Amino acid sequence: MWDLQKHAYAGYTAGTLIVARIVWGLFATGYANFHRFPPNPVWAFKYLFKILKGTARHYIGHNPVGSMAIYMMLALGIVVVGSGCIVFNNGWGLIDSETSVVIHHYATWTWLGVVVIHVSGVIFESIIHHDNLVWAMITGCKRVCRIEDRPRKNNPTTH
């Protein structure tokens, strides 16, 4: 049986990582900054259909589906950690214990589902674009293929 204290420590660790990622997303430079990948469900659906058709462009940073996954994982993580704190502290007088347990339970499984879908998407996209996205997440560096988002001014072959 899972020890309650270990469970609580896992929650504190998850909460610390979530806060660290939010701070990093607000103050980091480059592709980790939230301004570089705003949440846009319309772009995400369009990108999803394009990737399934094989016509999606390759992103150096987060693609629209990946950005939505990041925001969903952060939001669900906050709900999971917050509801876990409420459950662990018998509701803090904010909510009855049974409701907080139900919220914690379903938010946790939803969070896990989003993580699994995100990891599956990372693997799928790594194969499609011939780029090791897992390594890029670990190191912060990504192999740049011959990607032309727009024509260069001094390159006559792109006119």
* Distance between start and end Cα atoms, the chain: 66
DSSP state of 94: T
**C-alpha torsion 43→121→12→98, nearest 10:** 80
The mean predicted confidence, pLDDT, of the chain is 85
Q: What is the mean pLDDT of residues 14-20?
A: 97
Q: At what angle do helices 41-53 and 64-88 cross, to 10 degrees?
A: 120
* Range 124-138 burial, b when 16+ CB lie within 10 A, else e: ebeeebebebeebee
* Degrees to nearest 5, angle at CA 60 with 57 and 61: 110
Tokens of 80: 């999971």
Predicted confidence band at 151 (pLDDT cuts at 50, 70, 90)? very low
The model's pLDDT over 66-107, given as tens digits with 9 standing for 90+, comes to 999 999 999 999 999 999 998 888 777 777 778 889 999 999
pTM of the entire structure?
0.81
* Degrees to nearest 5, angle at CA 97 with 94 and 101: 110
